[in-house]
Amino acid sequence: SIDDGTSCLNRRWYLLSQSAMVPLISIYSLDGNGIANRMFYHIPLEHEICLHPKYFGPELLETVKRKLFNEVEGTCTGKYGFVIAVTTIDNIGSGLIQPGRGFVVYPVKYKAIVFRPFKGQVVDAVVSQVNKVGIFCDIGPMSCFVSRHCIPPDMEFEPNANPPCYKTQDESVVIKQDDEIRVKLIGTRVDAADIFAIGTLMDDYLGLSANE
């Protein structure tokens, strides 16, 4: 068992990947180069927890763990990507009192599953918006944009449809809001606290995941 305050879901992920830098899922490009591109990693990280004196007591360590989960899960850094879940807490260091405030800062070393996409990967996404400039979609916590110029030319935008969509002339393929599509990432923009991707549907095996 793992006695570090992790949830059952996190414990299951821990059993899948017990060492640092172990990729949990491999995504292969469809460009024929045979290189495995990975998006999910299990890596060691560090974070500082600042506690008010009111938390000093027998539940101090549990409070530090709880605040760690709340402060880091769901966040994003340009260097490591999106923190999906904390799996283990390896060490909680000695607290350092902040002069003049009374707060104490605890350095914490932990491992987490992070989501870090790269150019060339093929991923599944959910369409969030469709308009004349292209398709906006979500890949887990990350937003992705597919420009009109990266949509197959046989698909036209239909603004009068409800909801608006891109469709082929014979309507055999229709892409609208909430549909699942498969896109290839052709670029990513990394900011300090976010990652945004640009995708394309103009390649083999891309587009609508399944016709309804």
Domain annotation covers residue 3? no
Write down the mean pLDDT value for the chain: 82
The model carries a pTM of 0.71
Res. 8: pLDDT tops 60: no
Write out 127-143 in H/E/C secondary structure.
Answer: EEEEECCEEEEEECCEE
- Mean pLDDT over 55-66 rounds to 93
Q: Are residues 141 and 185 in the same domain?
A: yes
Q: Which residue is associated with the tokens 């899948």?
A: 16
Q: In this structure, are residues 38 and 124 in contact, taking their beta carbons and an 8 Å threshold? A: no
Q: Are residues 101 and 19 in the same domain?
A: yes
Q: Which residue range(s) make up the domain with 176?
A: 122-208
Residue at which a domain ends, from 115, 135, 162: 115
Q: Are residues 12 and 100 in the same domain?
A: yes
Q: Which residue is associated with the tokens 């707060």?
A: 103
Domain annotation covers residue 1? no
Res. 188: pLDDT tops 70: yes
User: Which of these, 37, 40, 130, 33, lies nearest to 81 by C-alpha position?
Assistant: 40
Furthest CA-CA distance within the chain: 72
Q: Are residues 91 and 130 in the same domain?
A: no
Q: Are residues 159 and 175 in the same domain?
A: yes
* pLDDT attached to residue 152: 95
* pLDDT attached to residue 4: 42
The number of folded domains in the chain is 2
Q: Are residues 100 and 139 in the same domain?
A: no
Q: Are residues 53 and 105 in the same domain?
A: yes
Residue at which a domain ends, from 64, 85, 115: 115
Please spell the DSSP secondary structure of 82-142, one letter per residue: EEEEEEEEEEE---EEPTTT--EEEEEEEEEEEE---TT-EEEEEEEEEETTEEEEEETTE
Res. 107: pLDDT tops 80: yes
Please give the residue that has the higher pLDDT: either 100 or 1.
Answer: 100
Backbone torsion region of residue 63, taken as left when φ is above 0, otherwise alpha when ψ lies between -120 and 50, otherwise beta: alpha
* pLDDT attached to residue 211: 53
Separation between Cα atoms, residue 92 and residue 48, nearest integer Å: 9
Q: Are residues 92 and 162 in the same domain?
A: no
Residue 28 in tokens: 């292969």
Residue at which a domain ends, from 51, 84, 115: 115
Using a 10 angstrom Cβ sphere, with 0-12 exposed, 13-18 middle and 19 or more buried, the burial of residue 144 is: buried
Can you give the CATH number for the domain in which 176 is found?
2.40.50.140
